[in-house]
Amino acid sequence: MKRSLMAAILAMTTTLAGSAMAQTLVADPAAEVKHEGTLKVMTKFGMQRLAPYFTDLAKAYEAAHPGVTIELIQEDDDSVKGKTKTLVASNAMPDIFFSWTGTWGGNFVRGSRAVDLTPVIGPGTEWGGKLASAAVDAFVYDGKNYGIPLYLDAKFMGYSKPAFAKAGVEVPTDLDGLLTACDKLRAAGYTPISIGNKEPWVGVHYVGQLLAYNVPREVLEKDFNPATATYDDPGYVAALEQFGQIAKRCTVGAAMNGISYQTAIQELSDGKAAMYYQEIIEFDSAASATTALKPEEFGFFRLPAPSGAKGDPEALEGAPEGYMISTASGNVPLALDFMRFVTSPENGKILSSPPYGQPSAVIGGADPVTMNPAVVGGLEDIARASYLIQWLDTVNHPKVAAAWLAGIQAYAGGDMSAEDVVASVRAAAEAAK
């Protein structure tokens, strides 16, 4: 799905180059905000638990500004990709739209789809100074700001404390320890790690973290750029083989390709699985007052690094996520005003607390008193990370991302070797030059 989306975006770049839209708009901090008209906003809050957040924000903004109507397009983590493809293809991007960082967001910039926000959110601006600087910087392309970060995100292994106690295992400190714990948890009657790779980015997230452990950072960042990529470091094959070990000893193996990620996380919530590799923004849904696994029974740790790893054992996979303003918007000042409202400290505290649990990128937008202690701990762990390696399927060129997605799913299903996957990624990088 991502292959076709990115192809659509890139194909339109040439078409747009000779049009008025090719002149990427630059936000004007002095522009008058007229509180009238309709704003269309595409979010990634389509899940039932998350949807009320933007719904409530829209109602509050409309109540304060009776002349404004907010139309929400609420998608989830997977459907937002297809919806974006459709809107790009029909030249109907909403005023405000969700974006990941990395190449994903960069394609909107290259396609003249995103407004240059540097004058309103860049260095030295009042609004930019109210947001976590690292989160703001993640949306910088060619020295300019194009995104408004909403929350911070990173990947952790969530686990059931009762399951660990029953199996007599401790939190593992290295990969071998994780594999040994999986053997004991299976013997105790649990699926050690629930996994659903029907949406292939799930397996990609495992491999992304393992790559950070096995491949030096400077090599990874060189290979992220097709112009300098070689993909000849042995750490690539090692990371895939380690994922294969996890798949064999900890999960349902090849059957993972037929299971959705939502079904997999439910297995942890229902007490059937002992672990689930998840984003910090999923902590509140994995264990709540309405699930079999209660919040006080939920724990988390980083996916353990293999002993003697040649990469960075302190690296953590993750990236902020946020929103861009469409160059096709007929009311950029109003769109920016709405996003200033969304990113207020008050709304940040609501976002960071249950039932949402999305750690706000707003300085002062997180109150540990009202937040899930696990989310607070996760934020502290993010702060300790040596660096954040972005998601492989969004940081890479579309052709390379597609190769990772297809290759890792095929590897999980037993249809490709680790060497074949790396060869396919290398070929995709060569084709992308």
Residue 10: CATH number of its domain? 3.40.190.10
Burial 99-130 (b: 16+ CB within 10 A, else e): bbbbbbbbbbbbbbbbbbbbbbbbeebebbeb
Q: Are 298 and 338 members of one domain?
A: no
Q: Is residue 388 part of a domain?
A: no
On the question of a cis peptide bond just before residue 355, with omega within 30 degrees of 0, the verdict is yes
Q: Are 162 and 20 members of one domain?
A: no
Mean pLDDT, 10 residues at a time, the chain of 433 residues: 40 38 74 97 94 98 98 93 90 96 92 96 96 92 96 96 98 98 98 97 97 97 96 98 98 98 96 97 94 97 95 95 96 97 97 94 92 94 90 93 97 98 98 94
Q: Are 282 and 374 members of one domain?
A: no
The whole domain housing 216 covers 155-317+397-431
In this structure, how many other beta carbons lie within 10 angstroms of the beta carbon of residue 427?
14
pLDDT, position 78? 82
Q: Are 248 and 377 members of one domain?
A: no
| Strand order, beta sheet including 155-160 | 191-194, 273-279, 155-160, 298-301
Give, to the nearest 10 degrees, the angle between helix 418-431 and helix 235-250: 130
CB-count burial class (<10 Å; 0-12, 13-18, 19+) for 187: exposed
Number of domains observed in the structure of the chain? 2
Q: Is residue 392 part of a domain?
A: no
Q: Are 59 and 112 members of one domain?
A: yes
Task: Judge contact between 93 and 328, C-beta under 8 A.
Answer: yes
pLDDT, position 24? 53
Q: Is residue 389 part of a domain?
A: no
Q: Are 254 and 370 members of one domain?
A: no
Q: Is residue 164 part of a domain?
A: yes
Q: Are 351 and 414 members of one domain?
A: no
pLDDT, position 85? 87
* Overall pTM > 0.85: yes
Q: Is residue 387 part of a domain?
A: no
Q: Are 338 and 298 members of one domain?
A: no
Q: Are 190 and 200 members of one domain?
A: yes
Q: Is residue 294 part of a domain?
A: yes
Which residue is associated with the tokens 């505290």? 349
> 3-state SS of 61-97?
HHHHCCCEEEEEEECCCCHHHHHHHHHHHCCCCCCEE
Q: Is residue 391 part of a domain?
A: no
35 half-sphere exposure, CB direction, 13 A CA radius? 9
Q: Are 285 and 364 members of one domain?
A: no
Q: Are 136 and 21 members of one domain?
A: yes
Q: Is residue 390 part of a domain?
A: no
Q: Are 118 and 69 members of one domain?
A: yes
